[in-house]
A and B are shown apart, each in its own frame.
Chain A
Amino acid sequence: MTKVYVGMSGGVDSSLTAALLVEQGYDVTGVYMKNWTQDMPGMRCPWADDLADAKRVAVQLGIDFKVFDFENEYKQKVVNYMIDEYRDGRTPNPDIMCNQEVKFKLFLETALEDGADMIATGHYARVVSSSWAAGSLSGHTLQGTAGTPVAFGSPSATSPANKPAARLKLAADTNKDQTYFLYRVTGEALSKTLFPLGDFTKPEVREMATKRGLYTASKKDSQGICFVGKIGIREFLSQYVEQKPGLVIDKNTGKTLGQHDGAIFYTLGQRHGLDVGGGLPYYVVGKDMNKNEVYVTTDLNDGALWKTDIRLGNTHWINDAPSPGMYQIRVRHRAKLVQAELSFEESNVRLKLANTERAVTSGQSVVIYDGDICLGGGIVI
């Protein structure tokens, strides 16, 4: 019997994931990953309820349950990364980092060492089996779903041969699809991963969980970045970086409009939280981290807000690097897929968009698709 370790967070998605795998005949073990949370002296730890919910469901399903303590690694790889990126004036995405470093690396490795054959999570995404992927790896030309023939296995491919690899496919529920957060995992990791929820919509998941009497069936979905919790990103960051007041300057007139309490707290396109009152709303169109200045405009059509040309560094491909050509891209989670022409500039990727995209900012991830297959992506330079 295939032994599967399911990451159980105490939410409805991962609860149903475990239930479905039990029904499908897998030998299932539930695992709660203890990630880093801020130490609040004397306070009841915030994750205790989630851990209890996960365990309660595991008991209900009659499966083994373990706790993997990833606090240190999570702090180093995810939390510190996020703080550093903000400090450098960028807008990072910790969920992507968490998937890359913790869930589909550390958790996978730890589970395999512990005797698992595969892992599973409650992500809304699909894995296309390795036989399909292996065919593509050998350089065959496949029919892309968008109708254009796309050649895989370009000369820049870096995956070593003979390694098992699977492809990442959009979830059936396009509204919930989470492939944006998964673009930095490896094809090899995916070949050992199950996403049992990928074929279902969220309402279907709730319904199936309710039908099975799962304790978490009606539990509210968690929001935002887990370790930041209820306090919000701004307050969280202000505990790690010094708040330094700086000037808010009108980009067009050069006039000082007011003060802000640290350029790192602002991101491109942001409208709220600027201490400049009256008249038309101002949008952030740039910042200078050295001068600690934030530049704003009331012009909704300002060039800085809209991009048709995006350059990506630090690219990652789930399988092989794609050949230059037309693809679909997504600039943020749940954003519409839009057409873009991909080309390579040394180690970077350049994307020319058919239409403009708003507020594409440094540090943010852009994910590249070929039809319903997620190829990978990179980080906006």
Chain B
Amino acid sequence: MNNDLIYLDHAAATPMDGRVFAAMEPYFSHDFYNPSSPYAPAVEARRRYEEAKHSLAKNIGAKADEIVITAGATESINLAFSAVTGHVVTANIEHHAVLSAAAGHDNTIVSADQHGLVPADVIKVAIRPETELVSVALANNELGTIQPIREIAQVIKHERQTRLISGNQTPIYFHTDASQGIGQIDCNVARLGVDMLTINAGKIYGPKQVGLLWAASHVKLVPQIVGGGQERGLRSGTENVAGTVGFAKALDLASEHRKYESDRLQKLRDKLQADLIAAFPEAVVSGHPKHRLAGHLHISFPKIDAERMVFSLEARGVLVATGSACAANKGTRSHVLMAIGLSDELADGSLRLTLGHLSTDENTLKASQIIIEEIKREFDRTSR
């Protein structure tokens, strides 16, 4: 990346780690083989592919034959929803991938609270005897709010016991999209208590369009992409060896540095938040005050058009997001901000600042100064 730029949008995309790129590089050229081919070099590629899958599985406390490599998180989410045909429960702050998948089913969309938190008891009330799937993301991509996944898992466990006693044989699964949280939160599937987990490489300094779905052995997935029968028939297409090797390396690095990096980013974020609030006491921070991703700051400035700020900050070399990149592209207000009851004025003045590997003490401080200057300049312009 251009060194003059200050990147504050790690929740949208992350730059690939040099070590990840180095791990992938041979599989583009020297070891390009199709893992299904019979000769020795291809068998070696197959071995490396399986090794990468084992490594990925180990990192989330799962078995390699329970994961399906997909082209990113969206595909993984679509595959997760293939496991059921009946009623599903999800929340109104979920990513479009989940909401769109849920729209194809009989569904109940529960409401998050004003912090974007989905309380377990709200899920409990929404579950019906015929509910087959609950899907709640580990961390919200716009607000950074971390959901009480373990508590929701308890609700589902309890529901399962109730069904067992009452003779209701409808299975119920719990899926979480952890793509936004995996860099900062340990995603051991047993500890989370989920039946299905989605993660991807693009948010953890790995390649884009590489993700996975872990599904416990009792979950019956229906392939969404059919063909040559790769991935145990659950996802056809020649295996993405380079991408999967890179994904494994990226997850290894994320696990290794998780604690240190979370602490570092939290300090940076807290300072950034404090500086901005000091300059603009009327600004509103959204997301849960405590249960929030370390590098995540969602902040709204009344009477400011955040889209203008994206462009004026871009001109000063600072790259930020408005509310949600997806929502911004569609020219509509973010469904997440509407869901948490943020006023239109605040929603329109919302910036999402997300820190990560590229953030340093110096450039974060510089960014906060530039943001303050540009917002003041905009206030001056509009009050002329």
B165 at the interface (CB under 8 A from A): no
Q: How far is the CA of A273 from the CA of B97 in the complex (A)?
A: 42
Which 10 A-B pairs have CB atoms at the shortest separation, nearest pair first? A59-B311, A56-B311, A59-B308, A59-B312, A48-B329, A44-B329, A48-B331, A45-B331, A45-B330, A62-B381
Cβ of B100 under 8 Å from chain A:
yes
Q: A48 to chain B: which residues have CB within 8 Å?
A: 329-331
Residues of A within 8 A of B308 (CB): 55, 58-59, 65
Residue on B with the closest CB to A51? B331
Q: Would you give 16 A-B contacts (Cβ < 8 Å), ordered by A?
A: A44-B330, A45-B331, A47-B331, A48-B329, A48-B330, A48-B331, A52-B307, A55-B308, A55-B311, A56-B311, A56-B314, A59-B312, A60-B311, A60-B315, A65-B305, A65-B308
A59 surroundings in chain B (CB, below 8 A): 308, 311-312, 315
User: Smallest CB–CB gap between B373 and chain A, Å?
Assistant: 14
| Interface contacts beyond A42-B100, A44-B329, A48-B330: sample of 14 additional A-B pairs, CB < 8 Å, sorted by A | A44-B330, A45-B329, A45-B330, A45-B331, A52-B307, A55-B308, A56-B311, A56-B314, A58-B308, A59-B312, A59-B315, A60-B311, A60-B315, A65-B305
Which A-chain residue is minimally distant from B96 (CB atoms)?
A42
A63 closest partner in B (C-beta): B381
What total count of A-B pairs have CB within 8 Å? 27
Q: How many residues of B contact A (CB 8 A)?
A: 12
In A1-49, the 8 Å CB interface with B consists of 42, 44-45, 47-48
Q: Which residues of B contact A65 (CB under 8 A)?
A: 305, 308
Given A42-B100, A62-B381, A55 contacting B307 (CB threshold 8 A) = yes
Query: B312 — which chain A residues lie within 8 A by C-beta?
Result: 59
What sequence of 0s and 1s flags, for each residue 305-347 of chain B, a beta carbon within 8 Å of any chain A beta carbon? 1011001101100000000000001110000000000000000
B-side contacts of A60, CB under 8 Å: 311, 315
Interface positions, chain B 264-311, Cβ under 8 Å from A, are 305, 307-308, 311
| Secondary structure of the B contact surface, majority rule | helix
Note all chain A residues with C-beta closer than 8 A to B305: 65
**Interface residues on chain A, size class:** 10 to 19
Q: How far is the CA of A65 from the CA of B308 in the complex (A)?
A: 9
Closest-CB distance, A48 to chain B (whole angstroms)? 5
Residues of A at the B interface (CB closer than 8 Å) are 42, 44-45, 47-48, 51-52, 55-56, 58-60, 62, 65
CA gap between A51 and B307 in the complex, in Å = 11
Cβ contacts under 8 Å, B307 to chain A: 52, 55
Find the B residue at minimum CB distance from A34.
Answer: B331
Whole-angstrom CA separation of A56 from B311 in the bound complex: 6
Chain A's nearest CB lies how many Å from the CB of B292?
A: 29
Per-residue CB proximity of B225-244 to A under 8 Å, as 1/0? 00000000000000000000
Per the bound structure, the CA–CA distance linking A51 and B305 in Å amounts to: 14
Complex interface: chain A residues within 8 A of B315 (CB)? 59-60
CB-defined contacts of A42 to chain B, threshold 8 Å = 100
Instruction: Point out the residues of chain A lying under 8 angstroms from B100, CB to CB.
Output: 42
A18 CA to B165 CA, complexed, in Å: 72
- Nearest Cβ distance between residue B324 and chain A, in whole angstroms? 13
**Chain A neighbourhood of B330, CB < 8 A:** 44-45, 48
CA distance A52 to B307 in the complex (A): 9
B144 to chain A minimum Cβ distance, whole angstroms, is 24
The CA-CA distance from A60 to B312 in the complex, in Å, is 7
- Inter-chain CA distance A42–B104, complex, in Å, is 13
- Give bound CA distance, A62 to B307, whole Å: 13
Q: How near does chain A come to B208, taking the closest CB pair, in angstroms?
A: 17
Provide the bound-state CA to CA distance between A186 and B308, in Å: 35
Task: Report B376 CB to chain A, min CB distance, Å.
Answer: 14
Docked Cα-Cα span, A58 to B309, in Å, equals: 12
Interface bits B244-271 vs A (CB < 8 Å: 1, else 0)? 0000000000000000000000000000
| Mask of B44-55 contacts with A, CB within 8 angstroms, 1/0 | 000000000000
Smallest CB separation, A47 vs chain B (Å): 8
Q: How far is the CA of A42 from the CA of B314 in the complex (A)?
A: 28
Please report the C-alpha to C-alpha distance between residue A56 and residue B312 in the assembled complex, in whole angstroms: 8
C-alpha gap A51/B311 in the complex (Å): 12
Taken together as a complex, chains A and B put the C-alpha atoms of A65 and B310 apart, in Å, by 14
Which A residues lie within 8 Å of B314 (CB)?
Answer: 56
- Interchain CA distance A60-B305 in the complex, whole Å: 14
How many Å lie between the Cα of A123 and that of B327 in the bound state? 32
Q: Mark B140-157, 1 if CB is under 8 A from A, else 0.
A: 000000000000000000
Q: Which residue of B lies closest to A43 (CB)?
A: B330
> Which residue of chain B has the shortest Cβ distance to A53 in the bound complex?
B311
A131 nearest CB across to chain B (Å): 33
Give chain B residues whose Cβ lies under 8 Å from the Cβ of A55: 307-308, 311
Assembled-state Cα–Cα distance A59/B377 (Å): 11
- Distance A47 CA – B305 CA, assembled complex (angstroms): 19
Please, how many angstroms separate the alpha-carbon atoms of A58 and B330 in the complex? Answer: 20
Min CB gap B383→A, angstroms: 12
Which residues of chain A are near B311, meaning CB under 8 Å?
55-56, 59-60
- Please measure, in the bound complex, the distance between the C-alpha atom of A325 and the C-alpha atom of B154, giving whole angstroms: 90
Q: Report the separation of the CA atoms of residues A58 and B310 in the bound assembly, to the nearest whole angstrom.
A: 12
A48 to B381 CA separation, bound complex (whole angstroms): 25
Give the shortest distance, in Å, between A219 (CB) and chain B (any CB). Answer: 15
B381 proximity list for chain A (CB < 8 A): 62
| Chain A contacts for B329, CB-based, 8 A | 44-45, 48
CA–CA, A44 to B325, complex, Å? 12
Within 8 A of A (CB), among B51-105: 100
CA distance A62 to B374 in the complex (A): 12
CA of A47 to CA of B315, assembled, Å? 22
In angstroms, Cα B308 to Cα A59, docked, is 6
Nearest Cβ in chain B — how far from A50, in angstroms? 11
Q: Name the residue on A nearest B330 (C-beta).
A: A45
- Nearest CB in chain A to that of B314: its residue: A56
Smallest beta-carbon distance B179→chain A, Å: 20
Q: How far is the CA of A65 from the CA of B312 in the complex (A)?
A: 13
**Bound-state Cα–Cα, A62 to B314, Å:** 14
Smallest distance from the beta carbon of A27 to chain B beta carbons, Å?
10
Looking at the assembled complex, report how far the CB atom of A8 sits from the nearest CB atom of chain B, in whole angstroms.
13
**Residue of A45, A51, A59 with highest tally of chain B CB at under 10 A:** A59
Residues of the B chain whose Cβ atoms lie less than 8 Å from the Cβ of A44: 329-330
Q: How far is the CA of A48 from the CA of B325 in the complex (A)?
A: 12
B251 to chain A, nearest CB (A): 30
Distance in angstroms between the alpha carbons of A55 and B314 in the assembled complex = 13
